[in-house]
Amino acid sequence: MEVLSGIILKHSSRPDFKFFWRCKAVGLSHLFFADDVFLFCEAHLPSATLLKEALNIFSSWSGLCPNSCKSEIFLAGGNPSLRNNILLELGFREGSLPVRYLGVPIITSRINKADCCTLVNRITARVQSWTHRFLSIAGRLQLIRSVLHAIQAYWASVFVLPTAVMEQIEKIFRQFLWKGPNLGRGGTKVAWDEVCLPNDEGGLGVRRLQDCNKASMLKHIWILFSDKEALWCRWVHSTFLKNKNFWVARKPTSRIPGPEELVDPKKEFQDGLLFGKLAMAKQPLRGLTTGTLEGP
Protein backbone atom coordinates (compact mmCIF):
# COMPACT_ATOMS: atom_id res chain seq x y z
CA MET A 1 0.00 0.00 0.00
CA GLU A 2 2.99 2.30 0.49
CA VAL A 3 3.76 1.96 -3.22
CA LEU A 4 0.19 2.86 -4.19
CA SER A 5 0.30 5.82 -1.80
CA GLY A 6 3.48 7.09 -3.46
CA ILE A 7 1.96 6.76 -6.93
CA ILE A 8 -1.17 8.66 -5.92
CA LEU A 9 0.87 11.37 -4.21
CA LYS A 10 2.93 11.84 -7.36
CA HIS A 11 -0.14 12.14 -9.56
CA SER A 12 -2.00 14.42 -7.14
CA SER A 13 0.97 16.81 -7.10
CA ARG A 14 0.51 17.61 -10.79
CA PRO A 15 -0.86 21.09 -11.57
CA ASP A 16 -3.99 19.79 -13.33
CA PHE A 17 -5.12 17.81 -10.27
CA LYS A 18 -7.77 19.53 -8.13
CA PHE A 19 -8.24 18.51 -4.52
CA PHE A 20 -11.66 18.25 -2.98
CA TRP A 21 -12.22 21.63 -1.32
CA ARG A 22 -12.36 20.18 2.20
CA CYS A 23 -9.07 18.34 1.59
CA LYS A 24 -7.08 21.06 -0.15
CA ALA A 25 -5.54 22.60 2.98
CA VAL A 26 -3.83 19.35 4.03
CA GLY A 27 -3.34 17.97 0.50
CA LEU A 28 -5.47 14.90 1.20
CA SER A 29 -6.04 12.71 -1.85
CA HIS A 30 -6.42 9.23 -0.31
CA LEU A 31 -6.91 7.22 2.86
CA PHE A 32 -6.03 3.57 3.43
CA PHE A 33 -7.28 1.07 5.98
CA ALA A 34 -6.17 -2.54 5.48
CA ASP A 35 -7.18 -3.30 1.87
CA ASP A 36 -9.77 -0.50 1.66
CA VAL A 37 -8.96 2.70 -0.24
CA PHE A 38 -10.70 6.08 -0.24
CA LEU A 39 -9.77 8.49 -3.05
CA PHE A 40 -10.72 12.19 -2.96
CA CYS A 41 -10.72 14.83 -5.67
CA GLU A 42 -12.80 17.65 -7.08
CA ALA A 43 -15.57 16.73 -9.53
CA HIS A 44 -13.08 17.40 -12.29
CA LEU A 45 -12.48 15.00 -15.19
CA PRO A 46 -8.69 15.53 -15.49
CA SER A 47 -8.37 14.84 -11.73
CA ALA A 48 -10.37 11.63 -12.07
CA THR A 49 -8.17 10.65 -15.03
CA LEU A 50 -5.03 11.10 -12.93
CA LEU A 51 -6.44 8.88 -10.18
CA LYS A 52 -7.34 6.25 -12.78
CA GLU A 53 -3.80 6.39 -14.18
CA ALA A 54 -2.39 5.89 -10.68
CA LEU A 55 -4.57 2.81 -10.16
CA ASN A 56 -3.60 1.42 -13.56
CA ILE A 57 0.11 1.84 -12.85
CA PHE A 58 -0.23 0.07 -9.51
CA SER A 59 -2.23 -2.73 -11.14
CA SER A 60 0.44 -3.25 -13.83
CA TRP A 61 3.16 -3.42 -11.19
CA SER A 62 1.44 -5.59 -8.61
CA GLY A 63 -1.23 -7.48 -10.53
CA LEU A 64 -3.86 -6.21 -8.05
CA CYS A 65 -6.93 -4.57 -9.58
CA PRO A 66 -9.83 -2.69 -7.97
CA ASN A 67 -12.96 -4.79 -7.59
CA SER A 68 -15.55 -3.05 -9.74
CA CYS A 69 -18.36 -4.89 -7.95
CA LYS A 70 -17.31 -3.55 -4.55
CA SER A 71 -16.12 -0.08 -5.60
CA GLU A 72 -18.37 2.97 -5.80
CA ILE A 73 -18.10 6.64 -6.68
CA PHE A 74 -19.85 9.26 -4.55
CA LEU A 75 -20.58 12.50 -6.37
CA ALA A 76 -21.94 15.76 -4.99
CA GLY A 77 -23.24 18.31 -7.45
CA GLY A 78 -21.99 18.69 -11.00
CA ASN A 79 -23.95 18.55 -14.22
CA PRO A 80 -25.16 15.18 -15.56
CA SER A 81 -22.64 15.21 -18.42
CA LEU A 82 -19.68 15.65 -16.08
CA ARG A 83 -20.96 12.98 -13.70
CA ASN A 84 -21.35 10.48 -16.54
CA ASN A 85 -17.88 11.23 -17.88
CA ILE A 86 -16.31 10.66 -14.46
CA LEU A 87 -18.20 7.37 -14.04
CA LEU A 88 -17.06 6.19 -17.46
CA GLU A 89 -13.46 7.25 -16.82
CA LEU A 90 -13.15 5.39 -13.53
CA GLY A 91 -15.35 2.45 -14.49
CA PHE A 92 -17.16 2.18 -11.15
CA ARG A 93 -20.86 2.46 -10.36
CA GLU A 94 -22.30 5.49 -8.58
CA GLY A 95 -23.08 5.04 -4.89
CA SER A 96 -25.18 7.05 -2.47
CA LEU A 97 -24.72 8.03 1.15
CA PRO A 98 -25.05 6.92 3.86
CA VAL A 99 -22.87 3.83 3.64
CA ARG A 100 -21.48 1.71 6.46
CA TYR A 101 -17.76 1.49 6.99
CA LEU A 102 -16.01 -0.13 9.97
CA GLY A 103 -19.42 -0.65 11.55
CA VAL A 104 -20.60 2.98 11.54
CA PRO A 105 -22.42 5.05 8.90
CA ILE A 106 -20.58 7.58 6.76
CA ILE A 107 -22.94 10.52 6.43
CA THR A 108 -22.85 14.15 5.30
CA SER A 109 -24.73 15.63 8.25
CA ARG A 110 -25.01 15.22 11.98
CA ILE A 111 -26.23 11.77 12.93
CA ASN A 112 -29.94 11.43 13.66
CA LYS A 113 -32.21 8.82 15.19
CA ALA A 114 -32.85 7.04 11.89
CA ASP A 115 -29.11 6.57 11.33
CA CYS A 116 -28.86 4.77 14.69
CA CYS A 117 -31.50 2.11 13.99
CA THR A 118 -28.72 -0.37 13.24
CA LEU A 119 -27.17 0.22 16.66
CA VAL A 120 -30.48 -0.17 18.51
CA ASN A 121 -31.41 -3.27 16.53
CA ARG A 122 -28.02 -4.84 17.19
CA ILE A 123 -28.33 -4.34 20.94
CA THR A 124 -31.89 -5.69 20.92
CA ALA A 125 -30.83 -8.74 18.92
CA ARG A 126 -27.96 -9.44 21.31
CA VAL A 127 -30.29 -9.25 24.31
CA GLN A 128 -32.86 -11.55 22.74
CA SER A 129 -30.15 -14.05 21.78
CA TRP A 130 -29.84 -14.86 25.48
CA THR A 131 -33.47 -16.05 25.68
CA HIS A 132 -32.66 -19.69 26.40
CA ARG A 133 -30.20 -18.96 29.19
CA PHE A 134 -31.24 -18.83 32.83
CA LEU A 135 -29.68 -15.57 33.98
CA SER A 136 -29.98 -14.05 37.43
CA ILE A 137 -30.22 -10.31 37.94
CA ALA A 138 -26.53 -10.31 38.84
CA GLY A 139 -25.72 -12.10 35.58
CA ARG A 140 -27.81 -9.72 33.52
CA LEU A 141 -26.18 -6.77 35.25
CA GLN A 142 -22.74 -8.07 34.30
CA LEU A 143 -23.82 -8.49 30.67
CA ILE A 144 -25.11 -4.90 30.60
CA ARG A 145 -21.89 -3.50 32.01
CA SER A 146 -19.58 -5.55 29.80
CA VAL A 147 -21.23 -6.73 26.56
CA LEU A 148 -24.07 -4.27 25.88
CA HIS A 149 -22.13 -1.19 26.96
CA ALA A 150 -19.27 -2.20 24.67
CA ILE A 151 -21.59 -2.34 21.63
CA GLN A 152 -22.64 1.29 21.96
CA ALA A 153 -19.22 2.49 23.16
CA TYR A 154 -17.75 2.26 19.66
CA TRP A 155 -20.50 4.45 18.18
CA ALA A 156 -20.23 6.83 21.14
CA SER A 157 -16.53 7.28 20.44
CA VAL A 158 -17.31 8.44 16.88
CA PHE A 159 -20.57 10.41 17.12
CA VAL A 160 -22.53 12.52 19.55
CA LEU A 161 -25.49 10.18 19.72
CA PRO A 162 -28.99 11.73 19.74
CA THR A 163 -30.55 11.90 23.20
CA ALA A 164 -33.55 9.91 22.02
CA VAL A 165 -31.28 7.06 20.92
CA MET A 166 -29.43 6.93 24.25
CA GLU A 167 -32.75 6.92 26.10
CA GLN A 168 -34.00 4.08 23.92
CA ILE A 169 -30.86 2.02 24.57
CA GLU A 170 -31.08 2.64 28.32
CA LYS A 171 -34.71 1.53 28.15
CA ILE A 172 -33.53 -1.78 26.68
CA PHE A 173 -30.98 -2.04 29.50
CA ARG A 174 -33.68 -1.47 32.12
CA GLN A 175 -36.07 -3.98 30.62
CA PHE A 176 -33.33 -6.59 30.28
CA LEU A 177 -32.16 -6.07 33.85
CA TRP A 178 -35.61 -6.45 35.46
CA LYS A 179 -37.55 -8.59 32.97
CA GLY A 180 -34.87 -10.65 31.21
CA PRO A 181 -34.24 -11.28 27.48
CA ASN A 182 -37.93 -11.11 26.60
CA LEU A 183 -37.92 -7.45 27.66
CA GLY A 184 -41.31 -5.91 28.40
CA ARG A 185 -42.63 -3.48 30.99
CA GLY A 186 -42.91 -3.78 34.74
CA GLY A 187 -40.81 -5.48 37.36
CA THR A 188 -38.77 -2.39 38.20
CA LYS A 189 -37.43 -2.59 41.74
CA VAL A 190 -35.12 0.45 41.86
CA ALA A 191 -35.16 3.73 39.97
CA TRP A 192 -32.73 3.79 37.04
CA ASP A 193 -30.99 6.90 38.39
CA GLU A 194 -30.10 4.94 41.51
CA VAL A 195 -28.99 1.91 39.49
CA CYS A 196 -26.52 4.14 37.65
CA LEU A 197 -24.89 5.38 40.85
CA PRO A 198 -21.41 4.03 41.71
CA ASN A 199 -21.25 0.97 43.92
CA ASP A 200 -19.86 2.92 46.87
CA GLU A 201 -22.88 5.24 46.67
CA GLY A 202 -25.43 2.46 46.77
CA GLY A 203 -25.88 1.95 43.04
CA LEU A 204 -25.08 -0.94 40.72
CA GLY A 205 -22.32 0.80 38.79
CA VAL A 206 -24.07 1.05 35.40
CA ARG A 207 -22.69 4.05 33.55
CA ARG A 208 -25.08 6.58 32.01
CA LEU A 209 -24.75 6.58 28.24
CA GLN A 210 -24.85 10.34 28.00
CA ASP A 211 -21.89 10.65 30.36
CA CYS A 212 -19.92 8.03 28.41
CA ASN A 213 -20.67 9.73 25.11
CA LYS A 214 -19.64 13.11 26.46
CA ALA A 215 -16.40 11.68 27.87
CA SER A 216 -15.56 10.20 24.46
CA MET A 217 -16.05 13.57 22.78
CA LEU A 218 -13.92 15.30 25.41
CA LYS A 219 -11.16 12.82 24.65
CA HIS A 220 -11.15 14.06 21.06
CA ILE A 221 -10.48 17.58 22.32
CA TRP A 222 -7.46 16.30 24.22
CA ILE A 223 -6.17 14.48 21.13
CA LEU A 224 -6.73 17.60 19.04
CA PHE A 225 -4.03 19.42 20.98
CA SER A 226 -1.80 16.61 22.19
CA ASP A 227 -1.18 15.07 18.75
CA LYS A 228 -1.11 17.95 16.28
CA GLU A 229 0.76 15.91 13.66
CA ALA A 230 -2.10 13.44 13.24
CA LEU A 231 -3.96 13.85 9.95
CA TRP A 232 -7.34 14.41 11.61
CA CYS A 233 -5.89 17.09 13.90
CA ARG A 234 -4.20 18.89 11.03
CA TRP A 235 -7.44 18.74 9.04
CA VAL A 236 -9.52 20.27 11.87
CA HIS A 237 -6.94 22.98 12.51
CA SER A 238 -6.55 23.93 8.84
CA THR A 239 -10.19 23.62 7.78
CA PHE A 240 -12.21 24.79 10.79
CA LEU A 241 -10.03 26.49 13.40
CA LYS A 242 -7.84 28.33 10.86
CA ASN A 243 -5.32 29.64 13.40
CA LYS A 244 -8.07 30.61 15.84
CA ASN A 245 -8.02 29.77 19.53
CA PHE A 246 -10.17 26.70 20.10
CA TRP A 247 -11.63 28.04 23.35
CA VAL A 248 -13.13 31.09 21.65
CA ALA A 249 -13.94 29.50 18.27
CA ARG A 250 -17.60 29.66 17.28
CA LYS A 251 -19.61 26.60 16.39
CA PRO A 252 -19.25 25.87 12.65
CA THR A 253 -22.30 26.56 10.53
CA SER A 254 -21.46 23.51 8.41
CA ARG A 255 -23.48 20.36 9.02
CA ILE A 256 -20.44 18.14 8.55
CA PRO A 257 -20.16 15.97 11.69
CA GLY A 258 -17.10 16.29 13.87
CA PRO A 259 -15.93 19.86 14.60
CA GLU A 260 -19.38 21.05 15.70
CA GLU A 261 -19.56 18.15 18.12
CA LEU A 262 -16.27 19.19 19.72
CA VAL A 263 -17.29 22.79 20.28
CA ASP A 264 -20.35 21.85 22.34
CA PRO A 265 -18.51 20.17 25.29
CA LYS A 266 -15.40 22.35 25.25
CA LYS A 267 -16.53 24.45 28.24
CA GLU A 268 -16.89 21.33 30.38
CA PHE A 269 -13.48 20.13 29.24
CA GLN A 270 -11.85 23.45 30.11
CA ASP A 271 -13.57 23.64 33.49
CA GLY A 272 -12.56 20.07 34.33
CA LEU A 273 -8.98 20.66 33.23
CA LEU A 274 -8.69 23.83 35.26
CA PHE A 275 -10.20 22.19 38.32
CA GLY A 276 -7.86 19.21 38.07
CA LYS A 277 -4.76 21.30 37.61
CA LEU A 278 -5.71 23.66 40.40
CA ALA A 279 -6.26 20.76 42.75
CA MET A 280 -2.89 19.21 41.95
CA ALA A 281 -0.61 22.14 41.26
CA LYS A 282 -2.54 25.16 42.58
CA GLN A 283 -1.50 27.15 39.54
CA PRO A 284 -3.15 30.47 38.61
CA LEU A 285 -5.94 30.38 36.07
CA ARG A 286 -4.05 32.46 33.56
CA GLY A 287 -1.30 29.90 33.28
CA LEU A 288 -3.76 27.10 32.63
CA THR A 289 -5.69 28.68 29.80
CA THR A 290 -2.64 29.05 27.57
CA GLY A 291 0.11 26.78 26.36
CA THR A 292 -0.42 23.37 24.79
CA LEU A 293 -4.20 23.54 24.99
CA GLU A 294 -4.39 26.72 22.98
CA GLY A 295 -5.20 26.68 19.29
CA PRO A 296 -2.36 26.73 16.79
pLDDT tens profile 211-265:
888 888 888 888 887 887 888 888 888 887 777 777 776 666 554 545 555 555 5
pLDDT band at 279 (very low <50, low <70, confident <90, very high): very low
Mean pLDDT over the full length of the chain: 80
| Domain ranges within the chain, ordered by starting residue | 2-96, 114-207, 226-293
Query: Between residues 38 and 281, which one has the greater pLDDT?
Result: 38
The yes-or-no verdict on residue 49 having pLDDT over 90 is yes
Convert the pLDDT of each residue in 151-208 to its tens digit: 888 888 888 889 999 999 999 998 888 888 877 777 777 888 888 888 888 888 888 9
Angle, helices 266-281/209-226, rounded to nearest 10 degrees: 70
